C-alpha cells in the first residue's frame, strides 16, 4: 500500500495511543495497518506501525485519522505543524 498523509493535527490519548489526522494522498479508500515513517521538513525522524482507519465512512474532503500505540514525540509533531507527513514504507 502506498499513501502519504499531510498531518493537520496529532492527539495523545490515554492508554498510550497517538492519533494523527490529515489529508491522505494515494493509497486505498480505507488505510490499513502498515509501517510508516514520520517526515518533518523532508527529513525522516521516526518509524513505527500504524493501525488501520477506524472510521471508514466519510465525505469527500474529510480529514482522515490513523493511530499508533508506539511511543511518539507528540510535542515535536505539534511544533512542526504544516511540515509533517506520514509515509507508508
Distance, CA of 7 to CA of 86 (rounded, Å): 7
pLDDT in tens, 3-34: 889 999 999 998 889 999 998 887 666 678 88
CATH of the domain at 29: 2.40.30
Using alpha carbons, list the distances in angstroms from residue 53 to 1, 42, 83.
14, 24, 22
Does the pTM exceed 0.75?
Answer: yes
d(CA 28, CA 73): 27
DSSP conformation class of 33: P
pLDDT surpasses 90 at 52 = no
What are residue 40's phi and psi, to 5 degrees? -120, 120
Number of domains the chain is built from: 1
Question: Residue 80: left if φ>0, alpha if ψ -120 to 50, beta else—which one?
Answer: alpha
Determine the structural domain holding residue 23 and report its residue range: 3-88
Amino acid at each position: 500500500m502506498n499513501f502519504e498523509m499531510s498531518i493537520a493535527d496529532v492527539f495523545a490519548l490515554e492508554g498510550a495511543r497517538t492519533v494523527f489526522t490529515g489529508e491522505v494522498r494515494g493509497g486505498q479508500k480505507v488505510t490499513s495497518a502498515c509501517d510508516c515513517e514520520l517526515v518533518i521538513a523532508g527529513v525522516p525522524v521516526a518509524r513505527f506501525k500504524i493501525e488501520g482507519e477506524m472510521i471508514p465512512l466519510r465525505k469527500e474532503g474529510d480529514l482522515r485519522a490513523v493511530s499508533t500505540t508506539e511511543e511518539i514525540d507528540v510535542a515535536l509533531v505539534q511544533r512542526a505543524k504544516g511540515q509533517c507527513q506520514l509515509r507508508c514504507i
